[in-house]
Amino acid sequence: MAEMMDMNVQYLSGVGPRRAALLKSELGIETVGDLLHLYPFRYIDRSSVQKIAEIIPDQAYIQIRATVRSARLLGKKGEPVTTDNVKFNLVNRLSVIVSDETGEMEVVFFKGIKWMYGRLIPGSEFIFFGKPTVFGNRINMVHPEVDAPDNAGTGILTGVYNSTEKLKTGGITGKVMNKLIGAALDMVLPTLKDTLPEYVIQEKGLVPLPYALRQIHFPTDRYALSKATYRLKFEELFLLQLSLLKQKFIRSRSSVGIPMPKVGEAFNICYNALPYELTGAQKRVIKEIREDLRSGRQMNRLLQGDVGSGKTMVAVLSALIAVGNGYQACIMAPTEVLSQQHFANVSKYLAPTGVKVALLTGSTGAAARREIHAGLEDGSIGILIGTHALIEDTVRFRRLGLAVIDEQHRFGVDQRARLWSKGADGTAPHILVMTATPIPRTLAMTLYGDLDVSVIDEMPPGRKPVVTRQFGENKRYALYRFMKDQIALGRQVFVVYPLIFESEKVDYQNLQKGYEDIVEQFPLPDYKVAIVHGQQSNEEKNFNMNAFAAGRANILVSTTVIEVGVDVPNASVMVIESAERFGLSQLHQLRGRVGRGSEASYCILMKGVKVSKESQKRLDLMCETEDGFVLAEEDMKMRGPGDMEGTQQSGLPITLNIASLAHDGQILSDARLYADHILDRDPDLSAPVNAPLAAELRKDKYLVRDYSKIS
């Protein structure tokens, strides 16, 4: 059975080497199993036959039973072509008039004319299936499917599969795909064993696999289709969660963590000296981290929190628990600017504690580096903050106990793995991964399925909402007036341009033109404008960014390099040019750069003349809510999980063929709970009854990289 599913698709009846090559290049289909896991993305109801008089042009698909009245061959200019010794290379189209008892309509063919002309003989009756269109005030159908009345369709609902122009021109039409899948089912199903144990099928009320595969491709009715769909979605999500949770179970039993039983004096001094009360969400997360650190097992926790929710404070207090237990901690950030910012904030918090904190980045000088290396090795530096420089081989800690990684997705896998090896006495450090990109719950459960997830879902008191508005090009001068008013009040302004690809000349031209326009509208000496983009050197970038952060420039014109972490409390206006070109998560991240001070803040979404329906929906959502998690859920529904910023690099652990993280959250939660329940009883899946599950998880696609060790 497995051999049949693994058989190369070229040996399936009707395929052959040429079609097999097309299926592989266009759809990634190599085996018969791959073909059977290509599921229809929608279904056409072939069960009803309409009367010609009832047809309306905007219907999706219709089916009529009609008699051929006439068939005419027409040339390139619409002139009739004589049928005596016809030269088909001069024929441009075939126009066929068909009728039933209620009226008549035209059916048109531009391809396969010779064959259709020979088939559609006046007086013969056929079933015509296609999309109605209007041409010259008449309803017609272009290239409908044509069947003899006794051979119309293979089921009531006909599946429609993803296709490409190359597939169609290569002869793999929708109808051919249906035939190939029918042949594959006939070959495989008689000997197909279920991938799930019998008790799982019984307990979860699932239909058997052979039934599910037959019904997903050729449903007998809507009810059978819904049962098949549920079975296949549940199986896909259940096996995915089972593979992730199995790793987590194995690790929780085998990974020894550095025990940190107390909070220590430095923690208490810092906590009591805070100028404000922590939010309930921050307190809850610190409690969860505290439990992990004293459990004797290694912590692997993902901390999600919207921009400005207070993740840095949680990181500092967690680091102080490590220090209080005689260990060191490090906080790794993706950019120098963000590292410097963390260093400034953390130094402020640590001032009363006497804990020594150091900053190590690519631009740290040789003398300072030597001093830091010595301080790390003798243990006098308690907390090290920095960029990738932290993972260089020359950086050796005396007793590293906790590693905090900010904006995790911006670090490569190998870089993170090197941090892992720096723990005290060869024991891996506790890991806290932080992200300000809100990840929908279903995606977090999948991308980070083997990590524990904490969420800060509460904003610190006193943070004012950011007023978000969308402007068209006709409001540009009103925008400039508004910017001048804000600058007159002593505020600063970000202006961000989309740069989708570093090499896109058009984007740089727009950025450059926008910069020149702003310099013209905001001239020296009254105004100072700085510019930052990817083609500048690091020195140039840092110089301009620092000029803005220090208040020496009123306006910062930039590409999205400022997306992560630039903290300028005095900046109260974020102008996003061509806002329709950004995804929701990115727009939300950019908006989070303002509203950090005590003044009212504004985010202005400048949009182009032509905005697609979907882009307009994104801009409207931005104006309606500031909740990053609501926006992330919507973003995933609109764009799919693989496209969300920050997740492309990680990708999903396996390809989902039928389930959707955006729409099947309930099935995913149920599948995860059930997987948990099974592993509670049999963590290694070694019981004979679970042999089918163990066999499935041994397949290549479930050999998920252990995210915990590289986070």
pLDDT at position 48, please?
78
pLDDT at position 643, please?
46
Cα dihedral 499, 501, 506, 508 sign:
positive
pLDDT at 645 over 60: no
pLDDT at position 254, please?
64
pLDDT at position 483, please?
96
Mean pLDDT score, 134-144: 85
Q: How confident is the model at residue 372 (pLDDT cuts 50, 70, 90)?
A: very high
Mean pLDDT score, 139-144: 89
Number of other residues whose CB lies within 10 A of the CB of residue 254: 9
pLDDT at 163 over 80: yes
pTM for this entry: 0.62
pLDDT at position 656, please?
80
SS3 387: coil
Number of other residues whose CB lies within 10 A of the CB of residue 23: 24
Lowest mean pLDDT among 78-92, 163-177, 302-316: 78-92
pLDDT at position 329, please?
96
> Per residue in 212-225, pLDDT tens?
999 999 998 889 99
pLDDT at 650 over 50: no
3-state helix/strand/coil string of 148-179:
CHHHCCCCCEEEECCCCHHHHHCCCCHHHHHH
Pairing of strands 93-100, 62-74: antiparallel
pLDDT at position 706, please?
45
Residue pair 360/389 in contact by the 8 Å Cβ criterion: yes
**Is pLDDT larger for residue 19 or for residue 641?**
19
pLDDT at position 660, please?
79
User: What is the DSSP secondary-structure string of 430-493?
Assistant: EEEEEESS---HHHHHHHTTTSEEEEE--PPTTPPPEEEEEE-GGGHHHHHHHHHHHHHTT-EE
Rounded-to-10 torsion of CA 221, 227, 232, 234: 160
pLDDT at position 709, please?
42
> Per residue in 316-368, pLDDT tens?
999 999 999 999 999 998 888 788 888 988 999 999 999 999 999 988 899 99
Q: What angle do CA 7, 9, 11 make, to 5 degrees?
A: 80
Listed ranges 84-98, 159-173, 475-489, 595-609; the one with the highest mean pLDDT = 475-489
Q: How confident is the model at residue 62 (pLDDT cuts 50, 70, 90)?
A: confident
Measure the CA–CA gap between 686 and 694, rounded to whole angstroms. 7
> Per residue in 442-491, pLDDT tens?
677 666 666 778 888 787 776 778 999 999 989 999 999 999 999 999 99
Residue pair 133/61 in contact by the 8 Å Cβ criterion: no
Element (H, E) at 415: helix 413-420
Measure the CA–CA gap between 610 and 616, rounded to whole angstroms. 10
> Per residue in 243-264, pLDDT tens?
888 877 776 666 788 999 999 9
Q: Look-up: residue for tokens 């793999």?
A: 172
pLDDT at 601 over 70: yes
> Per residue in 487-527, pLDDT tens?
999 999 999 988 645 455 666 677 888 899 999 999 999 99
Measure the CA–CA gap between 308 and 663, rounded to whole angstroms. 29
Measure the CA–CA gap between 123 and 114, rounded to whole angstroms. 18
**Is pLDDT larger for residue 268 or for residue 643?**
268
Number of other residues whose CB lies within 10 A of the CB of residue 103: 13
Measure the CA–CA gap between 309 and 461, rounded to whole angstroms. 10
Q: Taking Cα atoms as reference points, which of 235, 45, 32 lies closest to residue 159? A: 45
Lowest mean pLDDT among 29-43, 584-598, 601-615: 584-598
Domains of the chain in start order, with CATH, are 2-38+171-191 (1.10.150), 47-152 (2.40.50.140), 265-295+309-435 (3.40.50.300), 466-625 (3.40.50.300)
Measure the CA–CA gap between 586 and 582, rounded to whole angstroms. 6
Mean pLDDT score, 560-578: 77
> Per residue in 385-402, pLDDT tens?
998 888 888 899 999 999
| Average pLDDT score, the chain | 85
Q: Which long-range contacts (CB under 8 A, 24 or more apart) does 472-476 make?
A: 472/606, 472/607, 472/609, 473/606, 473/608, 473/609, 476/606
Measure the CA–CA gap between 297 and 115, rounded to whole angstroms. 73
Cα dihedral 147, 151, 156, 160 sign:
negative
* Whether the bond into 525 is cis, omega within 30 of 0: yes
Q: What is the tally of helices (H) and strands (E) in the chain? A: 24, 22
Lowest mean pLDDT among 184-198, 403-417, 568-582: 403-417
pLDDT at 642 over 80: no
Measure the CA–CA gap between 210 and 191, rounded to whole angstroms. 9
User: What is the DSSP secondary-structure string of 557-616?
Assistant: EE-GGGTTT---TTEEEEEETTGGGS-HHHHHHHHTTS--SSS-EEEEEE--S---HHHH
